[in-house]
Chains A and B, each alone.
Chain A
């Protein structure tokens, strides 16, 4: 009889724990839906100089870009267009990249061949006075679509809707 009671209480305890875990997992996920390190803000964000690299996050209806001590944010519901694209950049960029251009015997040119793919995300939004702003980010290749989806889920608009997942499946051969 006692054993049954122990098992029953154990069962209830384990079930309660499982329930808490199952409910808490989405809550953790919601805390920071998108977190993109190594993001470059090319131009457009108020209060931050162009071509700064930092961390881009989308959380609770706000897009936040943080580069060192500088921080800027945009309310997602003010975004009226999100467009993604792709590009490439030198693997060795910045000042060091410029200096390597002077490497003799074509060394700089050779180093230019080492490139990394990046995705571009162009955002249009309106400020409190109604003024149109444009912001361009470059993110790690393959992350732009996830960022766009998150922004759209949180209330942003787009002129180019993402292709549905089903369209990627191959058509049956005839």
Chain B
């Protein structure tokens, strides 16, 4: 008698876990974008830093890494640089606008000596805008370097994360 009760309890417990799991999965499905954004080409604008001032090398490193990583992602036929005349006549052009909202200039020396301090991080608000000016996607993305590599590696980490967002959403 006792054994059957134990089995019944165990079965109830497993059933509860399965039901809870199915609810979580359904919620995740709701959060995922229902439809992917279409865009045949992307124009990368230079990084703006209206409120937070960042060194020129960080600004340019973010811009160049973004171009490289978005080319690597293969999601767009063309990845245009700011000012490129070819972008003007491209249909379904998406423009990536970036604005720095947070920056912490760490120290490579501190990172290598202490491991736990001296990290460099850069947070940038990214907006993907279509030709008519509608914002299709907005995200705050942070790039970090915690241990190995120079301070500029945070810009590479940021660009990799942007490429991941693009792969999920486009």
Contacts and interface: CB of A to CB of B under 8 A. Distances in A.
B100 to A, nearest CB: 15
A18 B45 CA distance: 57
B56 A129 contact: no
Interface in A112-144: 112-113, 115, 120, 122, 124, 126-127, 129-136
Interface string A61-74: 00000000000000
Interface stretch (B15-23, B31-39, B79-87): B79-87
Contact of A131 (B59, B65, B81, B152): B81
A113 B112 CA distance: 9
Contacts of A90: 108, 112
A149 interface: no
B148 interface: yes
A98 interface: yes
B64 A44 contact: yes
A132 B85 contact: no
B57 interface: yes
Contacts of B65: 43
Contacts of A120: 55, 57
A104 B150 CA distance: 22
A122 B60 contact: yes
Nearest to B147: A101
A87 B113 CA distance: 17
Given A87-B151, A136-B152, A109 B113 contact: yes
> Max chain A CB contacts within 10 Å: which of B64, B84, B85, B148?
B64
A113 B113 CA distance: 7
Contact of B61 (A43, A89, A126): A43
A129 B84 contact: yes
B150 A43 contact: no
Nearest to A120: B57
B111 to A, nearest CB: 9
B80 A89 contact: no
A115 B56 CA distance: 23
Interface in B34-71: 46, 55-57, 59-61, 63-65
5 contacts: A42-B152, A44-B60, A112-B112, A131-B80, A136-B61
Interface of A: 42-44, 81, 83, 85, 87-90, 98, 101, 108-109, 112-113, 115, 120, 122, 124, 126-127, 129-136
Given A90-B108, A90-B112, 14 more contacts: A42-B152, A43-B61, A43-B64, A85-B56, A101-B148, A108-B112, A113-B109, A122-B59, A124-B60, A129-B86, A131-B80, A131-B81, A131-B82, A134-B63
Interface of B: 46, 55-57, 59-61, 63-65, 80-86, 108-109, 112-113, 148, 150-152
